[in-house]
Amino acid sequence: MTDTIKVLIVEDDPASMNYLEIILNKEGLDYKTASDGQEGLDIFKKYRPHIVLTDINMPRMSGVEMLSAIKRIDSQAIVIMLTAFNSEEYVIESMRYGANNYLKKPILKENIISLLRKYKSILYARNQHKQIQNFIAHHAFSMKFNNDIFQVPFIVNYLIDEIDLLFKEDETMGIRLGLDEIIINAIEHGNLNISYREKSKAIQNNSYEKLISNRSKLTTNKNKEVTIKYTFSDNFCEWLIEDEGEGFDPNSIPNPITTEGTEMLHGRGIFITRFQFDELEYLEKGNKVRLRKYIQKRT
């Protein structure tokens, strides 16, 4: 992959299309557009974008049908579904077909910018040089790091290097996205106690880096770390991710599909991550997350 991130927008509403184009232009992204699923699929085959932004309800071919076809062509393509109000069942269906994320309309500029920047970082890190490793029977290690959120893609890249030969490409991409989500949550919401509202406002005001820096310098936060313990056995990989925040009651997380409100996207990250792993469990006071993915034996 070159340094250019390519995006495909598939949207049948002209106003929504124009809105997304304005955002992508400001972000300096290369993109193409399509007005329905069939046209989107035809363009995808030739253009081979890294990220797809697609509506669900469209003429000729729905977004879910296009998603299914895209994942058969390129399992590592990142697909973000754009959903209308009261389309919860379509969101769940999309996740089952391999969608990587979703945004509810009307889409807030800071939300889509946040996702695009995150996936850009992941794509760049993923395509760095990968070291070839020999299969091993058992391996475990732990790592600690501070609250520099901009090093997360490279930490995730290191973790993915450990499992690159163990899973299929689409599974590896799902694990990558899930680890990124949980580690960033550990820093932002755990160690730095940044709420979704605060993050959204900072992104909107282009002051996200300043917010992270200021919170990291606070006496109560500056020495906090995130710990990751990784274990590989003969049939699973497991990650234990722990922050030093106050924790929370995991049972208080609302269902992001059915709950409206400004805090919806915070719970949505957990919802999405559950699709990428076989087991997800919050331990102790909620500041420790156990993720497990079972390895399918290949013949």
pLDDT at 285: 84
Asked if residues 292 and 279 have their Cβ atoms less than 8 Å apart, the reply is yes
Query: Which of 193, 185, 240 is CA-nearest to residue 218?
Result: 193
pLDDT at 127: 62
pLDDT at 88: 76
pLDDT at 255: 55
Q: How far is CA 257 from CA 35, 67, 240, in A?
A: 26, 19, 26
CATH number of the domain located at residue range(s) 6-107 in this protein: 3.40.50.2300
Q: Where are the alpha helices (DSSP H) in 168-219?
A: 169-185, 196-204, 208-217
pLDDT at 233: 87
pLDDT tens digits, one per residue of 117-162? 999 888 887 665 444 444 566 789 999 999 998 899 999 999 998 8
| Per-residue pLDDT at 62 exceeds 80 | yes
pLDDT classification of 91: cutoffs 50, 70, 90? confident
pLDDT at 261: 43
Helix (H) or strand (E) holding 19: helix 14-26
- Within the chain, all domains assigned CATH 3.40.50.2300 are found at 6-107
- Within the chain, all domains assigned CATH 3.30.565.10 are found at 139-294
Average pLDDT over every residue of 102-115: 91
Q: Express as a percent the part of the chain with pLDDT over 90.
A: 55
Among 115-129, 208-222, 268-282, name the most confident range: 208-222
- Residue 76: half-sphere exposure toward Cβ, Cα within 13 Å: 14
pLDDT at 139: 84
| Per-residue pLDDT at 219 exceeds 80 | yes
| Average pLDDT value over all residues in the chain | 86
Domain 139-294 has CATH 3.30.565.10: yes
CA distance 235 to 144: 25
| Per-residue pLDDT at 264 exceeds 60 | no
pLDDT at 86: 64
Asked if residues 84 and 90 have their Cβ atoms less than 8 Å apart, the reply is no
Strand partners, 238: 231, 292
134 against 286, higher pLDDT = 286
